């Protein structure tokens, strides 16, 4: 499960030389006044200074990553798309270069046999402040999840409900086995404490791991193991809860202030909306960047495409891809403001077609037993009926990490486990649709962290993505906007 619908990966390139480039998209910034006619470029005062490029950005497939089947979204973030959107808003002409056949990165959706299959299970959280500023929620036609979860433990399901949105279910859940009554009270207190803090304040606060913070807050081991490990493990792909406590507080604040939803047309509706706001001629797919070069002396920054084409960018290059690809493209240029070291985390998502759902609740099911492959699952068609054809249901099953087994072995193992959850009759009727393996779904987020890394690298190079802010959709969006603002500021200095 990934609350932050994450995106990362295109590149923007103008039809002529530009002033700046982004690692996913290449954006040409000739001047602060849009130029629609290509013949007019010669008359732009800033043209003599060069163009602007936006390299691969979060939100689409990483430029050099064929290990994912299918490749996940560009950094799960839309950083590059938001960078391009901000450049357009500032009147900066640009071109986006995307290595894949369509933009969106991990924030993409496949249509398969009438089903809507997102690239990995992703939830859209409505309270992200930057995302709210960037998107039209009404146009996304958001469908809400039930505010809570059914936790499978000791042979049965136990509901954990948000008492503020489902008061009767909240009261009924107090005596159940998923933590003590005091644990439920502590959840409310943590929620309140998170709401009264600002988002900026949360990321400047003292940090430790989530596991340590939960114990400092006096949560019982039962509550930690049966609820927090599968719930937060699904968000951060980290059942050991070694992610920074700052993100725990931030997510608790976001959950309190907003709803978990799915866009009716799939998570790709997020990236599609951003792309729709860009000039059609500015987006080029199938353009893979092989190398990014910084400015040196009189030589401007530039990018080299896989086919050998060199594109100069006198104002700078913005690399908007996920962390490992940014490291490959930027090399030592990233040393001035490195992303966090360490391996990222991954997930596998298995989709099944079912003749009917287990029940009709639009709810998330969590593995509170602490054993087996499955971390969480949900019948997505209960949340958004458009995700499945009439008369059928769509089940999404998530695994933390990438299991060392074939797709067939993984499918059978998951069905066997879920027979204990839903009864043998249910899994026997399921038909596997697709398996998505996403080895690098999020960058490392264990302490110490820095949620405001510089987007400026020097040498007319810039970088954005969820590895520069928080590894959330909100962090990716914010990072992309900051990169575009930096380019515009530097172009006028």
Give tens-digit pLDDT for 152-167: 999 999 999 999 999 9
The whole-angstrom separation of Cα 422 and Cα 402 is 24
| CA dihedral of 277, 280, 281, 284, whole degrees rounded to 10 | 90
Exposure of 136 by Cβ count < 10 A (0-12 exposed, 13-18 middle, 19+ buried)? Answer: exposed
- Contact yes or no for 159/149 (Cβ under 8 A): yes
Distance CA 123, CA 117 (A): 13
The DSSP letter of residue 462 is: E
Burial (CB < 10 A; 0-12, 13-18, 19+), residue 200, is exposed
The label of the residue with tokens 């090399």 reads 331
Q: Which of 272, 313, 289, 294 is nearest to 94 (CA)?
A: 313
Q: How far apart, in whole angstroms, are the C-alpha atoms of residue 243 and residue 229?
A: 11
Per-residue model confidence (pLDDT) at position 36: 35
Contact 16, 56 (CB under 8 A): no
The bridge status of strand 283-285 relative to strand 96-98 is: parallel
Residue partners of 167: CB distance under 8 A and separation at least 6: none
Interatomic CA distance for residues 401 and 375, integer angstroms: 10
pLDDT at 122: 95
Place of tokens 């849009």: 34
Name the pairing type of β-strands 301-305 and 310-319: antiparallel
The span from the CA of 26 to the CA of 305, in Å, is 11
Domains of the chain as residue ranges with CATH: 18-107+267-342+448-491 (3.50.50.60), 146-258 (no CATH), 345-442 (3.90.660.50)
| Low-confidence spans in the chain with pLDDT less than 50 | 2-18, 20, 23-77
Burial of 385 by CB count in 10 Å (0-12 exposed, 13-18 middle, 19+ buried)? middle
3-class SS of residue 422: helix
DSSP labels, 127-167: T-HHHHHH--HHHHTEEEPPSEEEEEETTEEEEEE-TTT-H
Residue 434: in which H helix or E strand, if any?
strand 431-442
pLDDT value of position 47: 24
CA distances from 136 to 49, 268, 286, 403 (A): 36, 14, 28, 37
pLDDT at 19: 52
460 token code pair: 């007319």
Tens-place pLDDT, residues 99-135: 888 888 889 999 999 999 999 999 999 999 999 999 9
Q: Are strands 310-319 and 393-400 parallel, antiparallel or unpaired?
A: unpaired
DSSP character for 352? E
Q: Output the CA angle 64-66-69, nearest 5 degrees.
A: 140
Q: What pLDDT does 53 receive?
A: 36
The residue with tokens 């954006």 is 27
DSSP 191-215: HHHHHTS-HHHHTTS---BHHHHHH
Closest-CA residue to 397 (of 413, 374, 367, 420): 374
Task: Give which of 475, 467, 476, 94 is closest to 316, Cα–Cα.
Answer: 94
| Rounded distance between C-alpha atoms, residue 280 and residue 288, angstroms | 19
């Amino acid at each position: 499960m990934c609350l932050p619908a994450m995106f990362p990966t295109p590149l923007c390139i103008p039809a002529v030389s530009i002033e700046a480039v982004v690692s996913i998209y290449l954006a040409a910034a000739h001047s602060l006044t849009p130029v629609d006619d290509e013949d007019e470029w010669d008359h732009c005062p800033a043209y003599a200074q060069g163009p602007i490029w936006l390299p691969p950005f979060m939100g689409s497939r990483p430029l050099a990553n064929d290990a994912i089947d299918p490749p996940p979204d560009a950094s799960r973030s839309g950083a590059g798309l938001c960078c391009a959107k901000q450049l357009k808003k500032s009147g900066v002409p640009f071109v986006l270069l995307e290595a894949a056949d369509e933009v969106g990165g991990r924030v993409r959706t496949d249509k398969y046999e009438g089903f809507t299959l997102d690239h990995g299970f992703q939830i859209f959280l409505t309270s992200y402040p930057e995302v709210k500023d960037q998107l039209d929620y009404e146009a996304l036609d958001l469908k809400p999840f039930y505010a809570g979860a059914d936790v499978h433990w000791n042979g049965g399901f136990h509901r954990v409900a948000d008492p503020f949105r489902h008061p009767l279910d909240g009261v009924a859940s107090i005596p159940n086995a998923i933590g003590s009554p005091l644990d439920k009270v502590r959840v409310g207190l943590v929620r309140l404490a998170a709401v009264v803090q600002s988002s900026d304040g949360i990321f400047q606060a003292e940090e430790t791991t989530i596991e340590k913070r939960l114990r400092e807050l006096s949560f019982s081991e039962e509550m930690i193991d049966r609820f927090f490990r599968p719930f937060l493990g699904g968000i951060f792909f980290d059942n050991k809860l070694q992610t920074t406590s700052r993100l725990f507080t931030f997510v608790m604040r976001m959950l309190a202030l907003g709803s978990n939803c799915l866009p009716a047309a799939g998570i790709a509706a997020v990236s599609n909306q951003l792309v729709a706001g860009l000039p059609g001629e500015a987006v080029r797919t199938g353009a893979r960047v092989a190398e990014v070069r910084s400015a040196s002396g009189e030589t401007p920054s530039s990018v080299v495409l896989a086919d050998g084409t060199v594109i100069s960018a006198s104002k700078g290059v913005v690399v908007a891809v996920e962390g490992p690809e940014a490291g490959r493209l930027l090399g030592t240029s990233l040393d001035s403001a490195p992303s966090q070291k360490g391996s990222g985390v991954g997930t596998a998502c298995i989709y099944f077609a079912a003749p009917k759902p287990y029940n009709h609740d639009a709810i998330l099911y969590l593995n509170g037993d602490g054993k087996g492959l499955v971390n969480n699952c949900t019948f997505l068609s209960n949340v958004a009926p458009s995700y499945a054809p009439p008369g059928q249901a769509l089940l999404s099953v998530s695994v933390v990490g990438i299991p060392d087994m074939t797709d067939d072995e993984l499918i059978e193992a998951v069905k066997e486990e879920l027979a204990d959850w839903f009864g043998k009759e249910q899994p026997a009727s399921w038909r596997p649709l697709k398996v998505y393996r996403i080895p690098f779904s999020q960058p490392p987020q264990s302490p110490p962290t820095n949620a405001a890394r510089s987007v400026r690298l020097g040498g007319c190079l810039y970088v954005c993505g969820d590895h520069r802010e928080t590894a959330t959709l909100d962090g990716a969006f914010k990072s992309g906007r900051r990169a575009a603002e930096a380019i515009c500021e530097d172009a006028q200095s």
